[in-house]
Amino acid sequence: MIDEFTIYFTGEKLYGDDFSSDQIYEWFVDEAERFTNLGAKEKCQYSYGYHQLDQIHAFRFIRARRFNHALGIGAAYGDEFKPIAGNIARITILEPSDTFSGVTEIFGIPCEYKRPSIIGDIEFESNHFDLITSLGVIHHIPNVSHVLAECYRCLDAGGIMLLREPIASLGDWRKPRKGPTRRERGIPLRIMDNMIKNIGFKIIRRSLCNFSPIPAILNKLGLRIHTYNNMPLTVVDALLSKAFSWNNSYHRTRLYKKFAPSLAYYVLEK
């Protein structure tokens, strides 16, 4: 008998993208604090682990640009803006948690925190921002296509969006999992590509990264290295991800399927 979830695990359809408002509310309640509790709760214990990954796949392509107003979706303490902090005049961050309510500046840049709308609307006028970042956040949201369309609406003509998301299922989200929050699931690569194009974004660059065996091997060896804050390891990761891109699949239940990149990184322009 074919389970109703089969179509989601094949990567042909994105679970949650067609949810009702009531279903979206239930999802939002589940995720609001859980994501924060994964590691960003206490500033003194928080460490951003993706600076070199961001540099190689995104920030080096926009370093020469200056931005009047940046929006960080789920950007926590704003560490992701560090590589281009000198190029940004103002930052707004959408966060469901009150953890960051006392933060008023990031790297000396004025910053304001806003709560996101439960239904995914971005409550700013159209063409308001010239930079939007969403790095590993949108897969925590049910109605991905709506949120991406809102990002496009709020982005000014010629503005840039940096988007990084998992393209594997992250396991069976119907069951308890070690690591992921209750609701999060990856976004199939083909679905993500089609959403981006249909919304109207121009893809400046799309790269695959996070070759799953690398962190696993380092952990087995007992090496406490932040893979994606280490430039040589991040370069090796990029090369292996490109070499094994042919092996991409969504629900990776067999070992050989895990020898593949598990993140997609986009530099988009409106």
Percent of the chain whose pLDDT exceeds 70: 94
- Is residue 199's pLDDT more than 50? yes
- Is residue 44's pLDDT more than 80? no
- Is residue 148's pLDDT more than 90? yes
Determine, yes or no, domain membership for 235. no
Determine, yes or no, domain membership for 246. no
Q: Cα 193 to chain center, whole Å?
A: 14
Determine, yes or no, domain membership for 256. no
Q: Which of 41-45, 97-101, 247-251 has the highest mean pLDDT?
A: 247-251
pLDDT tens digits for range 203-245: 999 999 999 888 888 877 777 778 899 999 999 999 999 999 9
- Is residue 118's pLDDT more than 80? yes
Determine, yes or no, domain membership for 254. no
Under 8 Å CB-to-CB from 100, ≥6 apart: which residues?
A: 76, 77, 93, 113
- Is residue 42's pLDDT more than 80? no
Predicted pLDDT at 1 = 39
Determine, yes or no, domain membership for 178. yes
Q: pTM for the whole thing?
A: 0.93
State the total domains in the chain: 1
Domain that holds residue 178: 6-209+264-269
Is the distance from CB of 190 to CB of 165 less than 8 angstroms?
no
State the average pLDDT over residues 167-182. 88
Determine, yes or no, domain membership for 177. yes
pLDDT tens digits for range 19-40: 999 999 999 888 765 655 554 5
Could you tell me which of 154, 160, 166 has the C-alpha nearest to residue 212? 166
Determine, yes or no, domain membership for 107. yes
Determine, yes or no, domain membership for 36. yes
CATH number at residue 25: 3.40.50.150
Comparing 10-24, 90-104, 140-154, which segment has the lowest mean pLDDT? 90-104
